[in-house]
Amino acid sequence: MMLFISNLNFKLFTLVNHQITLSICDEPCFCLFCVFGDTDEISVKKGDSVTLNSDLTEIDYDGRIQWSFEDSLIAEIYKPTKSVTVYDVVLDGRFRDRLKLNKQTGSLTITNFTTEHAGVYRVKTDRMIISFFLAINEEISVMEGDAVTLNSDLTEIMTGVSVEWQFGAEITSLAEISGWDDGFSVYDDVLDGRFRDRLKLDKQTGSLTITNFTNEHVGRYLLYIGTKHFNLSKSLKAFSVSVYDSVHCCGSTEAVIRLVLSALVGVATVILLVYDIRSRRAEQDQAQIHDCMIRCMIDVISQKKKKNVFAFLNICAVY
């Protein structure tokens, strides 16, 4: 067990059995971060489905299970009346036709997961509260030396919205746009300056561009989008960025060129073969005509019908 105490935020994070439980202090206070064992982050590819387990094999008590996203109730089961309710029209309908609630275990499935579904999910019973932090995960491969843009999927940053970019296992902050004063900062001198003069933050959308990308920039980039009044209400997007060098690129190009050349050689071979067959047939036809004429002449002479042209033609027709 590791214990960290900080007075920088008014948040309480508790990780138990690989799950994250979060709460807000009503007043400025010290924040406790307890870790029991390893911590697993739930990453989901855009468009995939994800199931959040309630840790119940079956609902064996006369109680209520409630699922919420941030502050909004999205689904619940009430055992006494055997009622199952899904509130998929909340939050501007972003969950419409995407929620499936297991009546046996209380587990919740979100289908066709997108960026607007990333954030904190909580399942609450009269015995426990378990929270899940879900992130959209995108895999990007960039050629060494090129620039790569990590898109926030925002068209603009509204007043009171904060954006923060972090990198690596150490969760190092690279850039942020403050929802409090609309200011922005880029921290390109962190991690021994490996990002120096390489970071460009779009102040309108919050997207981050890394120029001259190399192997030392390979890793996991996290995007947090929060609100001014409730900073825990964050959506999370993750990017796993890898690099490939020009050798592999050229190797792939060379393979394509070879494939095209092989196809062209094959087509040319077929054309030559067809031409050769037709040429041989033409030669055979000419030889047959020549033989026919010779035989006709011999027959005409032998029959002493030199003056009978029609007989000549009739004899040739026979051959």
CB count within 10 Å of CB 79 equals 15
Q: What is the mean pLDDT of residues 38-58?
A: 75
Which of 28-37, 177-186, 300-309 is the most confident on average?
Answer: 177-186
Q: CA nearest 239: which of 136, 101, 314?
A: 136
Q: Which of 66, 217, 198, 48 is nearest to 127 (CA)?
A: 66
How far, in Å, CA of 143 to CA of 247, rounded? 10
Task: Please give the residue that has the higher pLDDT: either 107 or 104.
Answer: 107
Give the pLDDT band of residue 2 (cuts 50, 70, 90): very low
As a whole number of angstroms, the distance between CA 65 and CA 50 comes to 19
43 band by pLDDT with thresholds 50, 70 and 90:
confident
* CA–CA separation, 173 and 195 (whole Å): 11
Q: Which of 99, 216, 104, 228 is nearest to 167 (CA)?
A: 216
Is the pLDDT at 199 greater than 60, yes or no? yes
Give domain limits for the chain: 144-244, 248-318
Does the pLDDT at position 24 exceed 50?
no
CA dihedral 282, 287, 293, 296 (to 10 degrees): -120
Reduce the DSSP state of residue 74 to 3 states and report it: strand
More confident residue, 237 or 95: 95
Whole-number Å distance between alpha carbons of 283 and 267: 25
- What mean pLDDT is predicted for residues 86-93? 89
% of the chain with per-residue pLDDT over 90? 21
Return the higher-pLDDT residue of 190 and 25: 190
Task: Tell which residue, 65, 68, 92, 60, has the closest CA to residue 76.
Answer: 65
List the structure tokens of 259.
């494939």
**pLDDT band for position 67 (50/70/90)?**
very high
More confident residue, 312 or 150: 150
* Mean pLDDT value of segment 18-29: 38
Whether the per-residue pLDDT at 81 is higher than 90: the answer is no
Lowest mean pLDDT among 35-39, 89-93, 97-101, 135-139: 35-39
CB contact at 8 A, 198 and 150: no
* pTM for the full predicted model: 0.53
Which phi and psi (to 5°) does residue 38 adopt? -80, 160
- State whether residue 69 is helix, strand or coil: strand
In this predicted structure, the answer to whether residue 200 has a pLDDT above a threshold of 80 is yes
Predicted local distance difference test score (pLDDT) of residue 308:
52
Triad 53, 86, 81: Cα angle to 5°: 90
- Cβ partners under 8 Å of residue 250, min gap 6: none
CATH topology of domain 144-244: Immunoglobulin-like (2.60.40)
- Work out the pLDDT band at 73, boundaries 50, 70, 90: very high
* Mean pLDDT of the chain, nearest integer: 75
**Residues 98, 32: Cα–Cα separation, whole Å:** 35
- Looking at residue 111, its pLDDT comes to 93
**Pairwise CA distance, residues 132 & 68, whole Å:** 10
| Residue 206 structure tokens | 């919050």
Q: How many CA atoms lie within 13 A of 247 on its CB side?
A: 0
Residue 109: DSSP 8-state: E
> pLDDT at position 299, please?
64
Strands 11-16 and 19-24 come out as antiparallel
Contact yes or no for 120/68 (Cβ under 8 A): no
- What is residue 35's predicted lDDT score, i.e. its pLDDT? 31
The sign of the torsion formed by the CA atoms of 71, 76, 81, 83 equals positive
227-282 residue pLDDT tens: 654 444 466 788 999 988 655 545 556 667 878 888 888 888 888 887 778 777 77
Pick 128 or 74 by higher pLDDT. Answer: 74
Q: How far is CA 252 from CA 46, 141, 248, 266, in A?
A: 28, 15, 6, 21
Q: Is 87:97 a contact under the CB 8 Å cutoff? A: no
Region 17-26: what's the mean pLDDT? 39
pLDDT band at 115 (very low <50, low <70, confident <90, very high): confident
Residue 28 has what pLDDT? 37
